[in-house]
Structure formats: structure tokens, C-alpha cells
Amino acid sequence: MSPSLKLFIALIVNSALLIGVLDVIFNVERNGCEMTYMYENPEYIKVPLSSKMVSKFPKYNLYVYGEGFYAESLRSFNLHGIPVLFIPGNSGSHKQVRSLASVAFRKSENLPFLFNYFSVDLNEEFSALNGGTLQDQTEFVGFCVKKILRLYKKARNPPTTVVVIGHSMGGLVARALFTLPDFDSSSIHTIITLATPHQSPVIVLDNYLSRFYEKVNGFWIDNSHTSLANITILSTGGGERDYQVPVWATSLDNIVLNGLGISTTTTSIPNAWVSTDHLCAVWCRQIVLIINRALFDMVDRNTKQITNDVDFRLKVFNTYVHNHPGKIGPMRSWKKTVNVEANAPWILKEDTSLRYSEEKVTKLKYVVIPVVTKDLDQFIAVSNVHSDSWICGCNIPEGKQRCDTCTNLADKGHALPPRNSNKKYVLYEVSELAEYSHIVLFIVPNLPPCLPVLFDGCCLCCYCERQDRNDDAGSVMSLKFSWTNLSTYKFIRKNEAGNITLKLLVPIPDYIHQPDASLHLFLNPDCNYGLKIDWALKETLGQVSGIFFLVLLESRAS
């Protein structure tokens, strides 16, 4: 091969690699996160530590977060709330706790319990680059967990556990606590990690980091069935915007026992649907709200502490980050059986496809659809009715015109973008509804409803447009992958064109023999649509560049 040809090929390869790198860095969705604001000046009150710990870790400190009068009440350290400990990550500050803590404080107003957010100051060390600091951080945080629990000796409902939230390498430190020889594993049963590289270091610059990962991950793999079986852990990745920690690295697969660990990305989380960069993960309001809502839902109303029921904690996390049904109130208040009001209008519709809307609803109504199993495959209903109970199934007794009670089906719903539109849908195989004679859809007062579409063999969805909320008018695209819980949602406003890019943020595992991706379209039936599939050259080069650097890092690590 001639030198000129070699030079030409090298130029082409390097140019393609450069285009791919630029695509990875710059071709990401805009930052859709909202800011989280404090209503009063944040205060970080230093928790006094023993002289022994101060001498051993002179660079580290422990703080409790407060605002206004609440901050003043904390200075006596006579605490009565639910302890949460925030662990910052690589070069992170203890002050990054303020978004989570401030939202939790405001949410606890008028409630019989509150959350006390603590934060450790780890001297903003570069723990992702210098593995030697991680063991010191772990030992200090382990001591802080014990110290925090001792602050509640006089509490009316003293806690026995601390909720831990770790950002970036702070999430790895949270898991490393259980490797300490004298650590009480029962003192933590709920862990939330934000943009934490669980699988392996993003970049390996020393052997200490590699050995630390091997020790922590090996311990979790070996003890998931025993001492760690009561731990519930949620890991979130930031999606495309986080180019420091890729989504695949935040996965808990093959580390945490299936059924105890949940991995997701912020683009998949219902009512968030945003990609977060690495630092944005700690202040993105959509994510902060969802984390706090999940924690509030986990509180046992008797003990005023996070429940010890591991199944319920897992159910709450799954609901908020995977299968949110569009519920307004807390999950524990869900009604399985709904009473049908005898005086409310009973509107029977026998069409297999319909759209129902009203500009103004002044009283409760029921739209009722007979269940027809012959020649029909699926049933789908889309609604923006502002109610937790909006769809149910029942059997009308012989000789009667209507049901007295019905079984709530709304818990099988899924929320749809845009956020705060209250749109949700249910999708059933018709065979799943065979036990019911009719499906009942609720039309509640004051909000215009929208109801179902039923098709032979496929589904098409509609929804109603609020007269004062034109930004809710549009369509939704959802891209899902069979080998992961991750999905991408794109909301397209009315009369606008949209696109969604098929990017593999998580590689296909070796044990998946038939991987597939599915595209779900939720369309406005009043509009015409065209679907166009193109090969995205820049995005392809970006994926190739990502794989190239991943292989390079793995070869360096080995």
C-alpha cells in the first residue's frame, strides 16, 4: 500500500472518529431540567464529632441541612425526623444536598413527620481519579452513619436506619460501607445513587481504584442472598447528556440480586423524561421531586420512619421510576374497589373506536363500553381525567342496568408526556378483560376528559385538548428496548415535526439472543402523520466512537 493511500485512509478514519466524538459531546438533547430554589437561606450546621474521628479524618466533616426557623431548631441536635445522608461524588461539595433537602422540608409541612438531610464534606477530593481516597471516605461515612443514629436517642420514634443518597462516586462509597468489618448492615436498607459508575471505573489511573471496585462489587455479588438481602437500591443514569458516566456504567446488573436493585435512566422516569448531565443530577427539579415523593411514600405511618418492608420499598421505586400509572395521591391510598354513584349519568357506548370530550364537565359521569372479545385483540384507553380512579371493570348483574361497584384498572396505567398534563393510558389484551362485562370510564367535574380507542389487532390513541393548555396538544413517541428497562420519550407539539434517534445507551448482553426495539406512537386522531426512517450518519459515528473508547478503557484497565 502506497504512503499516499495510507495517509488518505488515516485521514478518513480520523475524520470519522472526530465527527463521532463531536456528536457524542454536542449532539445531545437540550437541558430540560428545572432549577430547584430555596425559600429561605440554606444553612449547613456542623455536627460535632469525637476528637478521635477529628484527629483521624481532619479534612472531613458532617453537616445537617436547615432553613430559617427549622435551621435554628436543629442546633440543639435534638432530632425527631427521618435521617437521610447525602454523599457527594468526585470533587463534589456537601452543599449539593440543598436541592433534595429543601424540597423534602417543604413537602413535610403539615405532615406528622419530616426528613432530616445530612451531608458529608469529603474535602472535594478527586475520588474518581485517585482510588486511594475511597477507603478513607468509606470509613468516615461509616462512622457518620453511627453518629447520625445516636442523635435520635431522645426521639419519639427513633430510627434504626439511615437512607443514603450518593452522587457519582458517592454511590460507590455507599455500597462500600457494607465491606467494613465492623459495619452494622441493618443500619442502612435504602440506597439511591445518582450517576454512579457501578460496573467499573470510567477511567483507571491507579491500581487502588481497580482493587476497590473488585472488593466492593465482589462483596455485593457474594452477599446479595444473605446480609444484603434486605437492601433496596435504586440507580439512575443521566442519559445522553452525561458523557462523563455513560448509562451502561450505572447499571446494577450482575452486581445486585434481581428484585432488589433497580437501574434506570432519567429519560425513562415518568414525569421527568429529561436527560441530565453529571452535575445536574443533584439539582434537576423533576428528579429531585420524584426521589422525595418516593421516600415520602415509603414512610410507615405508625413508626414515622421508612418501612422495613423490602417488597413495599421495591414496589414504590418501581412505580415512580418505571410504571407510574399517572396517580395523583400516594401509592398506599390506592382503592382496589370503586363505588359507582347511583345518580351519576350512565352513558353506554357500543363503538369499537370512539373519542369523548366536553369543554366543561359539571358533574360526574360514566362512559361505559361493553367488553367484546370476538375478533378483537387489544383495548387501549387514553385519558387526561384528573382523578386516580378513572377506569374500572365490572359485571352488570342480571336484571340491572348498571354496576354498583367495579374493580379499579387504573393501577395498570402508564403516565405520558408532557409533564403535568395528567395524560395516561392503559393497554390490555382483550382476553385479560374477559372476566368483565363492561369497562367504565370516569368523567370527573371541571376537567375535559378524553376516552378510549379500541381497535382490531392494533392500537391508536387519542386525547382531549384543554382549551387553556395548547402546549398539551401533540403526540408522543416512545422507544423501548427488550434487554433493558430503559426507554426514551419524545413529546411533539401540535403542528410540529419531531424525531427520535435509536441509540444503544446500554450494550446488548450476550445472553440476549433475539434483541429488539419497539416504537410506540401516541397520535392525535385529528391530524395526518407520515413516518420516515433515515440512517443517521453522525449518530452512527458517535456510537462507533463510544465503543472505541470503551474498548480502549477496558484494555487499559486489564
Asked whether residue 448 carries a pLDDT value surpassing 50, the answer given is no
Map residue 409 onto helix, strand or coil. coil
Structure confidence by residue, pLDDT tens digits, 161-189? 999 999 999 999 999 999 999 999 999 99
**How much is the pLDDT for 463?**
35
Which is catalytic among the residues 119, 127, 168, 200? 168
**Known catalytic residue at 168:** yes
Cβ–Cβ < 8 Å for 414, 325? yes
Per-residue pLDDT of 218-242, as tens digits, reads 999 999 888 999 999 999 999 888 8
- pLDDT recorded at residue 538: 65
**pLDDT score for 120:** 98
- The three cell numbers locating residue 230: 434486605
The pLDDT of residue 496: 77
Using left for φ > 0, alpha for ψ between -120 and 50, and beta otherwise, residue 527 falls in: beta
| Residues 424 and 416: beta-carbon distance below 8 Å | yes
Predicted confidence (pLDDT) at residue 452 exceeds the cutoff of 70: no
3-state secondary structure of 475: strand
Task: Decide: 489 and 417 in contact? Cβ < 8 Å.
Answer: yes
Residues sharing a CB contact under 8 Å with residue 279, sequence separation 6 or more, in sequence order: none
Using the structure block, give the residue that is written with the C-alpha cell 427521618: 82
Beta bridge partners of 391: 441
Residue 543: per-residue pLDDT: 62
Per residue in 423-439, pLDDT (tens digit) is 899 999 988 999 999 99
Q: What is the pLDDT of residue 486?
A: 75
Per-residue confidence (pLDDT) for residue 260, from 0 to 100: 82
pLDDT winner (highest mean) among 192-196, 249-253, 486-490, 495-499: 192-196
What is the pLDDT at residue 61? 97
Beta bridge partners of 258: 261
Pick from 23-37, 128-142, 152-166, 270-284: least confident: 23-37
**At residue 23, does pLDDT exceed 70?**
no
The predicted-structure confidence for 375-390, as pLDDT tens digits, reads as follows 788 898 988 888 888 9
Q: How does residue 345 score in pLDDT terms, banded at 50, 70 and 90?
A: very high
Cβ(209)–Cβ(133) under 8 Å? no
Mean pLDDT of the chain: 84
Better-scored residue on pLDDT, 202 or 547: 202
The residue among 392 and 477 whose pLDDT is bigger is 392
